[in-house]
Amino acid sequence: MAQTVGILGGGQLARMMAIAGAPLGLRFRVVDTVKDACASQVAPLICADYNDFDAITAFSEGIDVVTFDFENVPADTAMFLASRVPVFPNPQALAVAQDRLEEKQLFQRLGMLTPEFATVDSREDLEAGVAKVGLPAILKTRRLGYDGKGQVRIKSKDDLNAAWAKLGDVPLILEAMVPFEREISVVAVRGRGGEFATYPLTQNFHQNSILSASLSPAPNTGAIQETAVGYARRLAEELDYVGVFALELFVHQGRLLANEMAPRVHNSGHWTIEGARTSQFENHLRAVLGWPLGGTEAHETSVLLNWIGEVPDALPVLSEPLGHWHDYGKTPRAGRKVGHATFTGPAAEVAAALGRLAAALNRPDQIEPVLEAMKA
Amino acid sequence: MAQTVGILGGGQLARMMAIAGAPLGLRFRVVDTVKDACASQVAPLICADYNDFDAITAFSEGIDVVTFDFENVPADTAMFLASRVPVFPNPQALAVAQDRLEEKQLFQRLGMLTPEFATVDSREDLEAGVAKVGLPAILKTRRLGYDGKGQVRIKSKDDLNAAWAKLGDVPLILEAMVPFEREISVVAVRGRGGEFATYPLTQNFHQNSILSASLSPAPNTGAIQETAVGYARRLAEELDYVGVFALELFVHQGRLLANEMAPRVHNSGHWTIEGARTSQFENHLRAVLGWPLGGTEAHETSVLLNWIGEVPDALPVLSEPLGHWHDYGKTPRAGRKVGHATFTGPAAEVAAALGRLAAALNRPDQIEPVLEAMKA
């Protein structure tokens, strides 16, 4: 009989999960606080607050497994669901990833290098933190941040009062701003039986603190490949993690520094839909259902371009034989991820297509850094 | 703004079209005579008879283009819709493909070889037909046949009375049974601006007159490749066809004989979901929407296995890194296509995976002919 997967959160990650699961005969049920969340176009959606335990109870009836579209589901809700139905990743893993401080402390316990950091619970802590990690630094809320939200850069001591005024009412972490050469992510998957696999390392590019592009495989990762995969595996095993997750790493002076973990399918893995044997979305579903994992190899080069705010003209992408178009069906809004494009093929052909696209869409700032990295 | 595609027919072809269109931001609306047709799991479905013009009118409101999941939509319905909204393929092309006699006559007009055939509208015609095409032959209804339905094999003159008793109340065609070496299909796509592309030729395998497996690229097609693609192109241009279609060809003594045309996405093209740059489903949507066509190249070998009647145990397929599982969400029933699996990868690895699968599922009759063909 058809199995039904419940998803907390109804954004584009839930949407792409439902699209990936449909061929497998899976059914879906989604909860979101917004009625027209974009996953509702492809799966039945229950509109409810995550703290509405009556609604969460109704949601849980008759579903086979619960998973997440985003990591900020209240821990109580995850725990409540876990008492009724299998929940993957497990609520404890989710809780660790929800807190930047716990996460960084875990990285250190597991022997992973990280940027310097300090706990900041008071104005005095902030002074002490600056003394410890140095400047420039970045002050972040420990919880609920994403895409550059909930953080302030501190360049000099003159910025401290403003930073404290902006964020000081919640627990914080101060992190050294590492002048890293590049950011890479490991998108990994672990099954219910402990099977573990990773996709090729991916190099990430940002604009305004939001992922703007990804390139996979990341070039020249010979020296860091094994360390990166080892970090991801250690983390997954420590958390008894089940499903797909991403580990973001800075490359600084040839060393890897663990930045953060996303306990879910990840934007830097969207290229796997066309570029890998099995997409991250299908592999996440396979993992949480206890099925065997699908192949994670990629034999070609893939470049992902994020559409932020609104989708551009589709024609230049659709006109490229290597181009794949994704529109999440969301209403345009500044800073919102509304779609992406993926180019998959031989590296030289992908680069040529991107060159044409940069001109056609007039987006040199988004595309040229990727082309630079591909030349390296 | 999001475009909405209307589909007449809500089977697995509509289902796979809707799944392929969701990433593109497309919306769908499906009409079927059965409320729980399997496309209803992934798209809104209107349950109505195709001759219910009130329902068809309601269906057509606000949709951008209409296409088909199956070729036996009444011509009047297609014409009615075409007066209200763009319909692709055009109703005339559909009408030709609905009638085995008109279709074969068209093949001949276009200079394509076909098996011998004769029109049979009376018991006398049947005698005359046998004299013309020889025995063994196959008597078929001109309209509404598929998967071996509406046809009777005639081995000797002793079979004539029974054949006539079974089918004689509708217009018929008698076709020579050609002892062909193999069946090949060309899955082709033509855009609204006349752009034309084909997928690699596919070799098809049958059990009980139903497609059981497909292998692409078909081996050793050097001598017939150009002819096959030329046939498909001529047909598409003659019909001003827009969308994906399949042309089934027999290979007999090194020559190609045109058997039939399917004016829609086709079972022998399901492997394109994983095996080609752009799936037949996405390319059909691109074509009917007037978008540029996506790449049709395949760089690896793909084998499709059809699940007929019921889906087997999924585990042996899911356990193969090259294996992809498709379950159409249909109720099991003898002779019904309920799912498929695709294996895509280097030919030797695909063959090894199939060998393991033949044993695990105990399906030598389905899989060994494919392995034989791969050795050729």
Where residue B226 falls among pLDDT bands split at 50, 70, 90?
very high
In a domain, A111, yes or no: no
**Domain containing residue A164: CATH number:** 3.30.1490.20
Q: What is the pLDDT of residue A239?
A: 97
Q: Does residue B134 sit within a domain? A: yes
Residues B346 and B231 in one domain: yes
Cα–Cα distance, B278 to B293 (Å, whole number): 9
Contact B325 A27 (CB under 8 A): no
pLDDT in tens, B163-194: 999 998 899 999 999 999 999 999 999 999 99
Instruction: Please judge whether A19 and B23 are an interchain contact, meaning their C-beta atoms are less than 8 angstroms apart.
Output: yes
Residue where a domain terminates, one of B72, B87, B102: B87
Identify all chain A residues contacting B311, using CB atoms and an 8 Å cutoff: 25
Given a contact cutoff of 8 angstroms between Cβ atoms, the answer to whether B212 and B229 are in contact is no
Q: What is the DSSP letter of B159?
A: G
Within this chain, do residues A71 and A139 fall inside the same structural domain, yes or no? no
Q: CB B22 to CB A42 under 8 A?
A: yes
Q: What is the dihedral of CA A5, A10, A11, A15, to 10 degrees?
A: 40
Q: Which domain holds residue B319?
A: 182-375
B192: three-class secondary structure by DSSP: coil
Q: How far apart, in whole angstroms, are the C-alpha atoms of residue B285 and residue B283?
A: 5
pLDDT digits (tens, 9 = 90+) for B48-102: 999 999 999 999 999 999 999 988 899 899 999 999 999 999 999 999 999 999 9
ipTM: 0.94
pLDDT tens sequence across A153-197? 999 999 989 999 999 889 999 999 999 999 999 999 999 999 999
Question: How far apart (Å, rounded) are the C-alpha atoms in residues B212 and B206?
Answer: 5
Q: Please, which pLDDT band fits residue B148 given cuts at 50, 70 and 90? A: low
Assess if residue A100 is contained within a domain: no
| Cβ within 8 Å of residue A256, ≥6 positions away | A112, A113, A224, A227, A228, A231, A249, A250
Among chain B residues, CA nearest to A300: B299
Q: How far apart are CA A321 and CA B14, in angstroms?
A: 24
Under an 8 A CB cutoff, do A25 and B321 touch?
no
pTM of structure: 0.95
Residue B228 DSSP label? H
DSSP string computed for A168-181: TTS-EEEEE----S
Same domain? A122 vs A188: no
**Three-state SS at A345:** strand
Q: How far is CA B50 from the centre of its chain?
A: 21
Please tell me the predicted confidence (pLDDT) of residue B376: 78
pLDDT of residue A248: 97
Is B75 buried (19+), middle (13-18) or exposed (0-12) by CB count in 10 A? Answer: middle
Cβ of B321 within 8 Å of Cβ of A294? The answer is yes
Shared-domain flag, residues B155 and B269: no
Partners of B297 on chain A (C-beta within 8 Å) are 321
Looking at the structure, tell me whether residues A205 and A170 fall in a common domain.
no
Asked whether residue A193 falls in the same domain as residue A171, the answer is: no
- Domain boundary (A146, A176, A206) is at A176
Q: Given this model, what pLDDT does residue B75 score?
A: 86
CATH of the domain at A326: 3.30.470.20
* Residue B72: exposure state from Cβ atoms within 10 A (0-12, 13-18, ≥19): middle
DSSP codes joined into one string, B72-122: TS-HHHHHHHHTTS-BSS-HHHHHHHH-HHHHHHHHHHTT-----EEEESS
Q: What is the pLDDT of residue A168?
A: 86
Strands (E), B309-373: 323-327, 337-345
pLDDT (average), residues B297-303? 96
Q: What is the DSSP string of A85-143?
A: S-BSS-HHHHHHHH-HHHHHHHHHHTT-----EEEESSHHHHHHHHHHH-SSEEEEESS
A44-53, long-range: CB within 8 Å, 24+ apart, which pairs? Answer: A45/A10, A50/A8, A50/A74, A50/A77, A51/A76, A51/A77, A53/A77, A53/A80
A201 and A139 in a common domain: no
Q: Indicate if A192 and A340 belong to the same structural domain.
A: yes
User: What is residue B353's predicted lDDT score, i.e. its pLDDT?
Assistant: 97
Q: Measure in Å the smallest separation between the Cα of A24 and chain B Cα atoms.
A: 5
Give pLDDT, residue B64.
Answer: 98
Location of structure tokens 């009625």: A35
Three-state DSSP class for residue A338: strand
Best interface-test mutation with B: which of A5, A36, A271, A327 has the largest number of B CBs within 10 A? A327
CB B29 within 8 A of CB B59: yes
Residue A146 is predicted with a pLDDT of 66
Asked whether residue A104 is domain-assigned, the answer is: no
Report the domain count for chain B: 3
| A319·B292 Cβ contact <8 A | yes
For A341, the token pair is 């494009």
Residues B262 and B123 in one domain: no
- Residue B306: inside a domain: yes
Give residue A63's pLDDT.
97
The H or E element containing residue B305 is strand B301-308
Shortest Cα distance from A32 to chain B (angstroms)?
A: 19
- Please judge whether B327 and A23 are an interchain contact, meaning their C-beta atoms are less than 8 angstroms apart: yes
Nearest to A318 among B22, B286, B327 (CB): B286
On whether the CB atoms of residues A29 and A7 are closer than 8 A, the answer is yes
Q: Tell me the sheet residues that pair with B249.
A: B184, B258
Q: What is the mean pLDDT of chain B?
A: 95
CA A74 → CA A61, A84, A198, A199, B311, distances in Å? 20, 16, 28, 29, 39
Tens of pLDDT, residues B328-347: 999 999 999 999 999 999 99
% of chain A beyond a pLDDT of 90: 93
* pLDDT recorded at residue B32: 97
Q: How far apart are CA A98 and CA A92, in angstroms?
A: 10
Q: Which two structure tokens, joined as six digits, stand for A4?
A: 């039904």
Determine how many CB atoms are found less than 10 A away from the CB of residue B332: 11
Residue B31 has pLDDT above 90, yes or no: yes
The pLDDT tens digits of the residues spanning A96-123 come to 999 999 999 999 999 999 999 999 999 9
Enumerate the β-bridge partners of residue B151: B140
Rounded to the nearest angstrom, the minimum Cα separation between A121 and chain B is 44
Q: Residue A147 — pLDDT band, cuts 50, 70, 90? A: low
Cβ-Cβ pairs closer than 8 A, A with B, add up to: 88
Name chain B contacts of A291, Cβ cutoff 8 Å.
314-315, 318
Residue pair A320/A353 in contact by the 8 Å Cβ criterion: yes
User: What pLDDT does B26 receive?
Assistant: 98
By DSSP bridging, strand A255-262 and strand A301-308 are unpaired
Q: What is the pLDDT of residues A201-226, one digit of tens each?
A: 999 999 998 999 999 999 999 989 99
Determine the residue among A4, A12, A13, A19 to mutate to test chain B binding: the one whose Cβ has the most chain B Cβ atoms within 10 Å. A19
Give the model's pLDDT for residue A115. Answer: 96
The reply to whether A155 and A203 lie within a common domain is no
pLDDT beyond 80 at B149:
no
8 A C-beta contact, residue B274 and residue B299: no
Q: State the smallest CA–CA distance between residue A45 and chain B in angstroms.
A: 13
Mean pLDDT for the stretch of residues A215-244: 96
**B224 and B328 both lie in a single domain:** yes
Q: What are phi and psi of A180, to 5 degrees?
A: -70, 155
Q: Which two tokens stand for residue A208?
A: 């305004």
Confidence grade of residue B144 (pLDDT, cut at 50, 70, 90): confident
With CB atoms and an 8 Å threshold, state whether B2 touches A329: yes
Q: Of A323, A312, A318, A329, whose CA–CA distance to A349 is shortest?
A: A323
pLDDT in the model for residue B71:
84
Nearest CA in chain B to A338: B25
Question: Looking at the partner chain, which of B19, B23, B311 has a beta carbon nearest the beta carbon of A326?
Answer: B23
**Does A97 fall in a domain?**
no
Interface test with A, best of B318, B319, B337 (most A CBs within 10 A): B318
Residue B341 DSSP class: E
pLDDT tens figures, A11-63:
999 999 999 999 999 999 999 999 999 999 999 999 999 999 999 999 999 99
Q: Do residue B186 and residue B242 come from a single domain?
A: yes
User: Is B96 a member of any domain?
Assistant: no
Q: Which of A23, A292, A327 is facing B318, going by the closest CB pair? A: A292
Question: Is B108 part of any domain?
Answer: no
Residue in chain B nearest A2 by alpha carbon: B329
Report residue B1's pLDDT band, with 50, 70 and 90 as the boundaries: low
Phi first, then psi: give them for residue A104, nearest 5 degrees: -65, -35
The number of beta carbons lying within 10 Å of the beta carbon of residue B21 is: 25
CB A91 within 8 A of CB A67: no
Domain's final residue, options B158, B176, B194 = B176
**Cα separation of the two ends of chain B:** 50
The neighbouring-strand residues paired with B6 are B29, B66
Q: Which pLDDT band, with edges at 50, 70 and 90, does A148 fall under?
A: low
Using CB atoms, which residue from A286, A325, A328 is nearest to B318? A286
Interfacial residues of B (vs A; Cβ cutoff 8 Å): 2, 15-16, 19, 22-25, 27, 41-42, 273, 277-278, 286, 291-292, 294-295, 297, 311, 314-315, 318-319, 321-329, 339, 345
How is residue A289 written in tokens?
């259902």
